[in-house]
């Protein structure tokens, strides 16, 4: 490890790239602390402390949402647009054809994603501002003030999107992922400071349990994140003239967490909707609507109901997203066209059925794991009775994934420079 660190600092080009990444991330943290005017910050902090769903969203923005910063939406609209286009590629033939055009096709999809990010950021900004106004957090505004806030928040999201792409282009790692990971990590020191400030003899055992669970969760995430089922695939030998081709034994890797963190993001987005709708309905004039809104708010404030519903939702979205991104019939057809087959199975339908069976078993395990990770904060709070620290399994999963991917890219850069020196 120390040898790798030494190589990083002795390589001028790699050192500049890492320095560039650090500079962009520092700019992001500065932007996260530039607040918009016309908001009661104390009431805003109380609102996020009392609302679980919005508290998780605030974690992904690195506290920018809680500070009512100009980048309070983070890269959320861009992530939403990316997921939309990823799903549309599976159902819209024209987009699927564009995606198969290689680098040029990916650039087109990225362009469409950026364009759609703008209206999504505008709509999400309006929804958030209106919600906070109904709660008495944002002061009254005129039309000019509202447009100023909407344009500023939308511009903040576009700025973060641009900074993330700069990191991907000129630095190391995926820029958007690094911004999200830094946002998650930035809240950890504050949480520890609050916990230590309020700690007493009764919370020592809780802190020990918290640390142990944190280490176990990290180890489990690293283990499962790299876990995969390797299905053997053999390509038939073909003879043309005096030369033979093929006859290669390889494998088809199926990751346990094939869907990644997207099911959790989907589920979190769905979980936020009832709370947002309830907050809007609380301002209605009809008594029945107000009572219904209070009932929804109380229901989603119940930790047991919230945790169980969140758990089941993550499982459902894991199966849904996996079925979208991995299609056994298409995989079996591609293997047959290329002369590949799974030993002991006939190409075509039998291979597709086998892949479906294996995929279901792996997805079930991955879905249970992701769902457990998603509700881990509520389990930890129940066991430790510590409210100031949130062991976010989702956050740990994202941070570890980003660290491992960045580590691989740095190692690839070092290997490339090693061969260049020969």
Please name each of the domains of the chain with its CATH number: 1-186 (1.10.3370.10), 189-391 (1.10.3370.10)
Residues of the chain with pLDDT under 50: 422
The pLDDT assigned to 2 comes to: 61
Q: What is the chain's alpha carbon radius of gyration, rounded to the nearest angstrom?
A: 24
**224, 317 contact by CB (below 8 A):** no
Q: What is the pLDDT of residue 211?
A: 77
Spatial neighbors of 205 by CB under 8 A, at least 6 apart, are none
Q: The pTM is what?
A: 0.74
Q: What is the pLDDT, as a whole number, of residue 62? A: 62
Residue 327 burial by Cβ neighbours in a 10 Å radius (0-12, 13-18, 19+): middle
Exposed, middle or buried: residue 376 (CB in 10 Å: 0-12, 13-18, 19+)? Answer: buried
DSSP bridge partners of 254: 229
| Residue 179, pLDDT score | 83
Backbone angles phi, psi at 120, to 5 degrees: -65, -45
Q: How far is CA 61 from the centre of its chain?
A: 11
Mean pLDDT of the chain: 78
State how far the Cα of 84 lies from the Cα of 78, in Å rounded to an integer.
Answer: 10
Residues 2, 408: contact at Cβ < 8 Å? no
Residue 394's contacts (CB-CB under 8 Å, 6 or more residues apart) are: 56, 261, 264, 268, 373, 374, 376
Give per-residue burial for 405-416: e unless 16+ CB within 10 Å, then b: ebeeebeebeee
Half-sphere exposure of 352 (CA within 13 A, CB side): 13
- At 158 the pLDDT is 92
What the block records as the tokens of 196 is: 């230590």
Phi, psi angle pair for 27, to nearest 5°: -60, -40
Task: Give 279's contacts (C-beta < 8 A, 6+ positions apart).
Answer: 131, 134, 135, 293, 297
Show the tokens assigned to 43.
């009431």
Structure tokens at 403: 């660290």
3 state DSSP class of 286: coil
């Amino acid at each position: 490890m120390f040898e790798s660190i030494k190589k990083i600092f002795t390589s001028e080009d790699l050192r500049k790239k890492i320095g560039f990444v650090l500079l962009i991330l520092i700019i992001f943290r500065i932007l996260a602390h530039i607040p918009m005017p016309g908001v009661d910050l104390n009431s805003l902090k109380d609102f996020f402390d009392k609302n679980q769903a919005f508290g998780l969203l605030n974690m992904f923005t690195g506290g920018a949402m809680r500070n009512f910063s100009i980048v309070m939406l983070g890269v959320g609209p861009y992530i939403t647009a990316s997921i939309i286009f990823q799903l549309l590629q599976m159902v819209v033939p024209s987009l699927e054809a564009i995606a198969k055009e290689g680098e040029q096709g990916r650039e087109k999809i990225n362009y469409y994603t950026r364009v759609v990010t703008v209206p999504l950021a505008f709509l999400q900004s309006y929804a958030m501002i209106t919600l906070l106004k109904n709660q008495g957090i944002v002061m009254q505004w005129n039309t000019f003030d509202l447009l100023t806030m909407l344009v500023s928040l939308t511009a903040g999201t576009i700025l973060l999107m641009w900074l993330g792409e700069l990191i991907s282009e000129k630095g190391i790692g995926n820029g958007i992922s690094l911004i999200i990971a830094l946002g998650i990590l930035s809240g950890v020191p504050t949480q520890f400071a609050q916990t230590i400030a309020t700690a007493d003899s009764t919370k020592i055992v809780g802190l020990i349990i918290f640390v142990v669970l944190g280490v176990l969760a990290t180890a489990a995430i690293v283990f499962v994140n790299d876990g995969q089922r390797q299905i053997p695939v053999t390509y038939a030998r073909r003879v043309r003239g005096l030369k033979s081709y093929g006859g290669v034994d390889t494998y088809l890797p199926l990751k346990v967490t094939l869907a990644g963190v997207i099911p959790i993001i989907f589920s979190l987005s769905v979980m936020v909707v009832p709370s947002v709708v309830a907050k809007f309905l609380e301002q209605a004039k009809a008594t029945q609507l107000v009572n219904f809104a209070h009932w929804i708010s109380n229901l989603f404030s119940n930790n047991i109901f919230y945790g169980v519903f969140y758990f089941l939702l993550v499982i459902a979205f894991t199966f849904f997203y996996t079925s979208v991104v991995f299609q056994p019939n298409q995989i079996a057809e591609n293997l047959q066209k290329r002369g590949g087959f799974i030993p002991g199975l006939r190409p075509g339908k039998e291979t597709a059925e086998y892949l479906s069976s294996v995929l279901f078993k792996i997805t079930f395990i991955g879905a249970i794991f992701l769902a457990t990770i998603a509700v881990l904060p509520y389990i930890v709070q129940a066991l430790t009775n510590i409210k100031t620290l949130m062991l976010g399994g989702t956050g740990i999963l994202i941070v570890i994934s980003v660290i491992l991917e960045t580590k691989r890219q740095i190692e690839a850069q070092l290997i490339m420079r090693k061969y260049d020196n020969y």
